[in-house]
Amino acid sequence: MGKGLRRFKPGVAPKVHLACTASLWTVVGVLLFYRGIIYLADADMLWLALPGIILGSLKSRIVLDRSATKGVERIKRFDDNTCIGAVYSWKTWLLVLAMMSMGFWLRNRSVFAPAIGTICIAVGWSLLFSSRHAWSAWYSWENKSH
């Protein structure tokens, strides 16, 4: 990037990246969880929230915890003034785009609404539960800098 353009780069400290990734996982998790509850409530099948939470807990422990930990360790190696977009690797951004596209596609199909609701709860809960790694790293960074 040329010297003149550097001043427009949205660079931030690693602790901001940690707060950003924790916030994104939390907000998206809550929104998906809420959307799942709405789907299940509309179908009068709220009892499916429990299997969704169980599946989400398994996904969190088996898949997302490892990804969250790797992401936190990657962010901890950032220099100050690293671009905010680097909070995720380009491969992760592509995965996010693919997952959003799949969610959009599923919601616009004649898929059984309780299945979509259970999936939303599972994915939302797994994101929310695994966000604890980024929140913990951010909290530790905050306390280390005081």
pLDDT of residue 66: 93
Q: What is the pLDDT of residues 76-102, one digit of tens each?
A: 998 888 888 888 888 888 988 998 898
The stretch 119-130 carries a mean pLDDT of 95
Question: How much is the pLDDT for 4?
Answer: 62
* Rounded Cα–Cα distance for residues 69 and 49 (Å): 27
For residue 109, the model assigns a pLDDT of: 75
Q: Cα 138 from chain centroid?
A: 15
In a domain, residue 140? The reply is no
Q: How far apart are CA 28 and CA 108, in angstroms?
A: 19
Asked whether residue 144 is domain-assigned, the answer is no
At residue 7, does pLDDT exceed 80? Answer: no
In a domain, 79, yes or no: yes
Query: Which residue carries 């789907």 as its tokens?
Result: 39
In a domain, 7, yes or no: no
Whether 78 is in a domain gets the answer yes
Q: What are phi and psi of 82, to 5 degrees?
A: -75, 140
pLDDT for res 146? 52
Domain that residue 96 falls in? 13-135
In a domain, 94, yes or no: yes
Question: How many domains would you assign to the chain?
Answer: 1
- pTM for the whole thing? 0.84
The pLDDT tens digits of the residues spanning 17-64 come to 999 999 999 999 999 999 999 999 999 999 999 999 999 999 999 999
pLDDT for 53 equals 98
3 in a structural domain: no
Asked if pLDDT for residue 108 goes beyond 90, the answer is no
